[in-house]
Amino acid sequence: MKKKIVIIVIIMLLIILIPIPTQLKNGNKEYKAILYKYTKIHQPSDTSSTGYEDGWELKILGIHVGGEINTYVSTETLKPNLFDRSEIIKVAIDNYSQYKNNFEYADKNTIDKIYNLFKDLKTNVASKSDEPENPEELYKVTFFNSENMLIESDNDIFKAIIYVYKRDNKYYVEEPKNGIYEVTEETFNNIKNYAK
């Protein structure tokens, strides 16, 4: 009789303590048992310099007892790595449309207006990719120097390319492998209007 009780107790403990792993849509992994839930966090984040935040969380009987999340927000302030304004002789904007998709501007006033949209931007969010991920609407702004060439700087950042895009009803400027800057809808619409 005692042996049966011990076996039942062991089985009950196993049922209460052994978790069932589940992969969640947001990238997190959950280990859920009757007594507790442990979540391994790895989910997308617009504010993270890596694009993700990582960490863990533990709940026992639904009560939060511990956890930690690292959002990898850089303390370094990033600025666009553009040419000096005096070097720029032309700006091209690509709207990625099927038909006329490239618009070029060589007049001083238009170049100044476009350049001024970007020159004072600041961010803590680093860009790790060559192009923005999953934009809803995208424009590529390319600045040309006096030799009509894109120049690559020593730290592998193209000084001449900036992407302007909309994602999840927010507006961004991204300089590949440098920074991701949140901007106003007005800035986005200014670039959009130059690409019509």
What percentage of the chain reaches a pLDDT higher than 90? Answer: 29
Residues 145-194 pLDDT 10s? 876 555 544 444 456 889 999 998 999 999 987 888 999 999 999 999 99
Q: At what angle do helices 108-118 and 185-194 cross, to 10 degrees?
A: 150
The pLDDT score that the predictor gives to residue 74 is 58
Sorted by where each starts, the structural domains of the chain and their CATH numbers stand as 2-70 (no CATH), 85-194 (2.60.40.4250)
Say how many CA atoms lie within 13 Å of 177 toward its Cβ. 11
The pLDDT score that the predictor gives to residue 22 is 87
The CA distance from 159 to 150, in Å, is 7
Cβ atoms within 10 A of the Cβ of 159, count?
19
Could you tell me which residue, 152 or 35, shows the higher pLDDT? 35
| pTM metric for this prediction | 0.61
* Sheet containing 170-174: order of strands: 102-105, 90-94, 137-144, 161-167, 170-174, 180-183
Beta bridge pairs of residue 42:
54
The pLDDT score that the predictor gives to residue 109 is 95
Phi, psi of 144, rounded to the nearest 5 degrees: -115, 140
Short-list 158, 154, 164, CA closest to 193: 164
Mean local confidence (pLDDT), 18-22: 87
The pLDDT score that the predictor gives to residue 148 is 54
The pLDDT score that the predictor gives to residue 187 is 94
The pLDDT score that the predictor gives to residue 77 is 82
